[in-house]
Structure 1
């Protein structure tokens, strides 16, 4: 459910994950069990399969941003059977484009980011490709009207209510920007920029959209003059007007608040993956009211510890919140985990750990959920 998910991590260094697989659970009466493990039929080491994931309806979408000499690819799977349905490629593919670095799905549509794609405007302008989730056919290739070199358009993507929101962390003089499109036509509707932005804010690192409100994370913004503390912004998705700037009262240096964002049912969740409440870089997630920007609560893992990066990924749907902690040592050093919360009560329901977790897996790097399925 892409309206409640975040995608990110363009323009930074990333450590290798070897054929990292997804975790699919089925929930009934708040009991969750692992039901499948998805792998690419043609996957090889260092493809980064699972770098991005999304689930909507009966289809799971998975990005593999380093496949095929970093051209990248994406895969679609049947939720019920785990069968691989399609492998997606862009109409324009070059080594280093990183197609699949961000992914979103909603209403039978899949959007796949290609943030390092070059164009007549220069290198690394970026693009987003839109596909039919059932047939795998490419429907649109979307680029910003004012595209320029180094924009990294496709740093993040989100889908919801017929809208596509795309982050571009290098745009707007390297402050960053986000763009809103009609996903049916590909027409650009608005460009989102912060009222208080500065160079290298990484505005657009994460995006989410629901019920006409777009959320954009700027994880490196110096809120209250504090370096790399971060911020998140709420916009009217239709006209681009900024509604609120979200900054927690206890924000601190290098918290990276805004690294991940989600919105669903009038609630906004913002990940702060380097918050230090339970130890250095233990991480946290903040909840806000989407209608007025008011802080609601702060969530931490019940067994949280230093260096776990809880809040690196967040996703919400129908009153449930999933949070990734990809450096948790549950099954070995940096094996990773994820946590499920009830949004209304802010209580932790369960901790998700794969049956075959191993050192360095970084399980929980990306998460999504829809109905009774968690990926």
Structure 2
């Protein structure tokens, strides 16, 4: 009689259930079929994976239903367990409602869809703003339907509470169309918001338009007042840049061809009644003519009180080198602007794009040159000028990033308010090596045109190509930065100043209706009461990529 052998199943530290029993005896060479986990074996914190000839998993792996050939000895099959992890939601001091429950168990590297506030969590006096891996908000930020990748540990997501009750209002033009780029430029001051739609087609292809909205209630706005360039031709892109101060709106049309191909033109409009704008003043650098080439006068604009500043990145010096320029104008009476002051950098070289961004506040003007090479190719710089009398500007100061590197594009966006300047570097890489995640730098004035080394801010959820800082704005104690590629949809981030040039993250702003390539945050603006955010790729009733803007209170 031939010898026979047995197959025994071992739970391998199971915490519940029973092992299957194989009562058969097998001669050498006979076929053995692996049994199912009929006794519902379980082990806390693990999921059943199959069977293995070694307890430590180093042997042969078998799953239910497969077969093997019996050898010359008894066989013990050990349960094989795979570690699993959980996601738990924490109300973080909530006063009512309930946290979402995720009862699933996940293996490492599993993709998890983050829950929304389905249980209507509330906290007295505060606004729910999403989830964070740290209770104090210093971890990774997640919103409803974001994707989380499971690590080798359990995850707790804490509700985040914001002391501001943000209200969202979405606006778009009433005559828009596909690819208008409505929201390419935005600004807000008092009861008025101004929005550029540089590819709108009112008279000629891509001639552009600007819409001005008036606040009629707490966060309600009228249907808008539309303005177009006095003389429109193809592709002038009127509305590429906009700004507002009091009763005056300034609009750039950097590809206007009146005085040469892409010479550019800028227009200032005066409000003559409630959201009625007229008395247009047309401006162009006095040294720009048909021989100047593509100066792109109006690629950037800003206005503050009686002073307006205009960037012209293609402006050439006496040696025919494209170093860029900025022009500052003073309002002399009503909507008449003159006393032109042209500013060029003392160390300008070819194609630094001086004038790509401009901002003005009181006696100080800041001008970005994002292709400056002082700290590596395209590391970028910003220049600050002080007004000494009337419209005379000088005492140049040059700002660069304390951690500057090649291709940071520091200076692509700038904003100034009082003693603080914020400069965006949308292609800066962060300390954990996310390429082009972006950063912004806030500088504090310590003396007459003397500025500190700057405070660095960045998004709370850095990823490659987020482009945080492609747009920036500062008002009083708050800074807003756009990140148009965040999670493919875009976001904006608000920071609050807590002490002299010390800033803390306050709020991430998104909208529930965003989709991939909406570019929410491509343009931002900030007033004492509102933030305004452009989303040029947002689809609305006007069509695909028509664009929208969002106003938050």
TM bucket (normalised to shorter chain) is 0.7 to 0.9
Asked whether 1:179 is paired with 2:179, we answer no
| Aligned residue among 326, 330, 351 for 1:200 | 351
Q: Which runs of 5+ in 1 are unaligned?
A: 1-28
Give how far 1:210 is off. Answer: 0.6
| Aligned residue among 110, 126, 131 for 2:264 | 126
Q: Contact (CA 8 Å) 2:465, 2:485: kept in 1 or not?
A: yes
Q: Which has the higher Rg, Structure 1 or Structure 2?
A: 2
Match of 2:363 in 1: 212
What's the TM-score once normalised by structure 1's chain length? 0.88
**C-alpha distance in 2 between matches for 1:343 and 1:228:** 29
Give how far 1:302 is off. Answer: 1.6
Q: Contact (CA 8 Å) 1:144, 1:188: kept in 2 or not?
A: no
Deviations 1:316-335 (A, max 9, x none): 11111000001101xxxx21
Match of 1:264 in 2: 417
Q: Which secondary structure state, in structure 1, belongs to the residue aligned with residue 524 of structure 2?
A: coil
**C-alpha distance in 1 between matches for 2:520 and 2:167:** 13
Q: Which runs of 5+ in 2 are unaligned?
A: 1-161, 533-553
Q: Which of structure 1's runs of 4+ aligned residues deviate more than 6 A?
A: none
Deviations 1:257-283 (A, max 9, x none): 001001112011110101101410011
**C-alpha distance in 2 between matches for 1:265 and 1:320:** 12
| Aligned residue among 189, 192, 210 for 1:59 | 192
Deviations 1:3-35 (A, max 9, x none): xxxxxxxxxxxxxxxxxxxxxxxxxx9414233
Match of 2:213 in 1: 77
| Aligned residue among 114, 117, 133 for 2:256 | 117
Q: Which secondary structure state, in structure 2, belongs to the residue aligned with residue 343 of structure 1?
A: strand
Deviations 1:16-62 (A, max 9, x none): xxxxxxxxxxxxx9414233101110000100000001111111111
Pick 1 or 2: higher relative contact order, CA cutoff 8 A, min separation 6: 1
Q: Contact (CA 8 Å) 1:113, 1:154: kept in 2 or not?
A: yes
Asked whether 1:311 is paired with 2:469, we answer yes
Deviations 1:320-368 (A, max 9, x none): 1000001101xxxx21000000134400100000121111001000000
Which deviates further from its counterpart, 344-353 or 236-245? 236-245
Asked whether 1:361 is paired with 2:361, we answer no
**C-alpha distance in 2 between matches for 1:181 and 1:99:** 20
Evaluate the alpha carbon distance shift between residue 197 and residue 242 of structure 1 in structure 2; reply closer, same or farther with a 3 A threshold.
farther
Give how far 1:189 is off. Answer: 2.9
Give the CA RMSD over aligned residues.
1.4
Query: Equivalences for 1:117-266 in 2 at 5 Å?
Result: 117-120=256-259, 122-133=260-271, 134-147=275-288, 148-172=292-316, 173-183=321-331, 184-224=335-375, 226-237=376-387, 238-266=391-419
Asked whether 1:323 is paired with 2:481, we answer yes
Q: Contact (CA 8 Å) 2:489, 2:520: kept in 1 or not?
A: yes
Which deviates further from its counterpart, 137-146 or 56-65? 137-146
Give how far 1:135 is off. Answer: 1.5
